[in-house]
Chain A
């Protein structure tokens, strides 16, 4: 039985197409993916992302614990956030996540909805020797994202916090739309925007306030369909598509979130250090479709008759008007400008390796 978020009734009343996703019944779209995508690129949209998981990590060893558990460095200042992967000893990715440092000894870790149970078990399996207080607040927490070039104008109407001074990947705790909230300048769209974490029971009021405040900017509710095209257009990876337990951060070109330059010990370090030195056998790349159509997840990539890779995410990029994909290719085929062919329903379509992001005009701060 799928869980409902606090905003389930809002979505149904808005006429959303609801589908099962990661154990939740979620809005896929309210109108069309294209229209919602464009609203976020050109104006502002609001998302219910309450399916995401939230773990609170508190205690005097919180920083040391997260350093061991996650590949990125936990020593950011309170008020800052960081993106990281969490890996198995063999380097495979358990999940990718965002970590907000709330204070010296308190962090909030945001994990993918599909991985909440797996992550929670993994985190709890590694607590020996650390003085910690861990809580899984996923069911009590709602997450509403306001994204788009007009996001700040909307959000500023709803809080006294100085949002104009809040930088990308910074956050503050305060009152938002009359409710206690964590207000973060983060997102998954390539646009400027905020993610508002509130209590489950406050979510409806916050949602209504955002819709009302956004009215003058033409705010639209955005479903998971457009969330996927928005993230793909700016080359953000999606766990389950572009990475999983069989891929390492180095292969996924997430080496920048692996703290190999520090001497800190962390799970998977040995494998990643070796891979970083020897170079992996495959890489994730961005591919642009030259011509019509687009390959989807699972489409095979060829150079002549030789199979050299596989597409992990593929879609039409609504803001660009052509197909784009993320794909794994063998070492040697990752260089910008490499021309390959993707097999789509028995036909070959030409694709070319390009630099990410595909869409370069994002308003992200």
Chain B
């Protein structure tokens, strides 16, 4: 049984997105996704740049596999979780808090509301 907090939005590429107010959104990898990937050993972050919805923001290297993470909507990256540089396994240990990946900013908050809620994401991953 996965851990899918209410109050967050979810993408079909298994990122969670949290509304921080004032057009900023924090995002990370879902519990389900980190569990699928296994121990994450390296994170490659994007620059503080503009991205279009679906663009690759960065990548995660686990012991056995690697995955990219994506822009959930048109946005600009304004912050990265530098703590993960030294301790990427925080994504495994605490995916919704200490293991967050980036903070992005967008002009169009409506795109956030069209992402999946906890219930839909739970269905999406088949639970």
Contact = CB atoms under 8 A, between A and B. Distances in A.
Interface of A: 29, 32-34, 225, 292-294, 296, 315-316, 318, 323, 344-345
Interface of chain B, main secondary structure: strand
A34 B42 CA distance: 11
A34 B68 contact: no
A33 B44 contact: no
Given A34-B89, A293-B59, A294-B61, A316 B41 contact: yes
Contacts of A292: 42, 44
Contacts of A323: 42
Contacts of B44: 292-293
A316 to B, nearest CB: 5
B20 interface: no
Contacts of A293: 42, 44, 59, 61, 66
Contacts of B55: none
B63 interface: yes
Contacts of A315: 63
B50 interface: no
B83 to A, nearest CB: 15
Contacts of B89: 32, 34
B68 A32 contact: no
Contacts of A29: 39
Nearest to A296: B66
Interface string B39-67: 10110100000000000000101010010
Contacts of A225: 39, 63
A318 B87 CA distance: 12
B42 A294 contact: yes
Contacts of B59: 293, 345
Given A292-B44, A293-B44, A34 B66 contact: no
Interface in B52-95: 59, 61, 63, 66, 68, 89
B122 to A, nearest CB: 25
A29 B66 CA distance: 19
Contact of A32 (B39, B42, B66): B39
A322 to B, nearest CB: 9
